[in-house]
Amino acid sequence: MPFLELTLPCTEVQQPRYERALEDVGALAVTLADAHADAPDEQAIFEPGVGQTPLWGEMTLTALFPADTPSELLLHALAAHDEGLDWSRAQFREIEDQDWERAWMDQYEPLKFGARTWIVPWNHELPEGADAADAAVVRLDPGLAFGSGTHPTTALCLQWLDALAGEGLIADREVLDFGCGSGILALAALKLGAARAVGVDNDPQAVAATLDNAQRNGVESRMRVHLPDDAPRASYPVVVANILASALIELAEVIGNRVAPGGRLALSGILAGQEDEVIAAYADRFDALHAERLDDWMRVTGIRRG
């Protein structure tokens, strides 16, 4: 399937604002590359790694959108999102699916989160430690859906799930991944011992990617994935939602009601500075609300009251 590719130059200082705007208007993926690279095979950075920042003062930023996205309407949406950014140098072209998949597979490396959670791409050998008997290894091909583990929001959630498992709060329980994307968080929960996982996402591509990844990891019998209208109105002892802060606030009642009394909740996709508003939206239902920061992103956790 083809995609619409947007490319534009930016500086290291501007990059977070550009990337935030692109993600907020629906970019499927964002990559960065050195603007002054002479080598034709200069490698890109895919979602800068945990604790890392781009190495270049000037870079080329590339974003992927569905092929049927109108470029002019997209530029209008971006300009309205952040009027202080210059989108006049943006260029567009149509690219094929295999271009993205090949680049991702070339760049992605195994990553460890917490004590025993590993995210390992399909084309990579298990690194030392990931072959341990108690290692929770997710073999992932995120395809087009967001969620490869490298973005701080995903990393924060994976670390939280790993810590819960260490406290004995994952084993034999059911976990809800609200806004599942590639299914990475639900899959990690299953590998950490959850009895079942439920994924919910409003993007049919994310639903397909999650089901595919569940099958490849051999956990499809314990995974269910739904579009929001088809999702069960059940409550769960563990709920994680890695979506935008605005959506977390708007859906506070929906998400809050999915957490069983005494259950644990993690919210991410929150930029630093937005956490107080998110906490306020959940304070009427949750105790022990706490914010944790990684780079410019926050995770809010809490325990459902009563």
Tell me the pLDDT tens digit for each residue of 77-109: 999 988 889 999 999 998 775 544 455 455 567
218 shares its domain with 292: yes
Q: Strands of 223-226's sheet, edge to edge?
A: 223-226, 196-200, 174-178, 236-242, 259-271, 297-304, 286-294
242 is in an annotated binding site: yes
179 is in an annotated binding site: yes
287 is in an annotated binding site: no
**Residue 171: phi, psi to the nearest 5?**
-55, 130
**What residue spans of the chain are helical by DSSP H?**
15-24, 71-81, 97-107, 152-166, 184-191, 204-216, 245-250, 252-257, 275-282
pLDDT digits (tens, 9 = 90+) for 162-204: 999 999 999 999 999 999 988 999 999 999 999 999 999 988 8
Among 79, 104, 129, the domain-final residue is 104
Residue 32 lies in domain: 3-104
pTM, 2 dp:
0.69
123 is in an annotated binding site: no
Alpha-carbon span 107 to 30, nearest angstrom: 13
Alpha-carbon span 18 to 69, nearest angstrom: 18
Q: Which two tokens stand for residue 55?
A: 């190495």
Residue type, 102: R
Among 104, 127, 158, the domain-final residue is 104
The radius of gyration computed from the CA coordinates of the chain, to the nearest angstrom, equals: 19
Q: Which two tokens stand for residue 285?
A: 């239902």
174 shares its domain with 187: yes
Nearest to 8 by CA among 103, 87, 80: 87
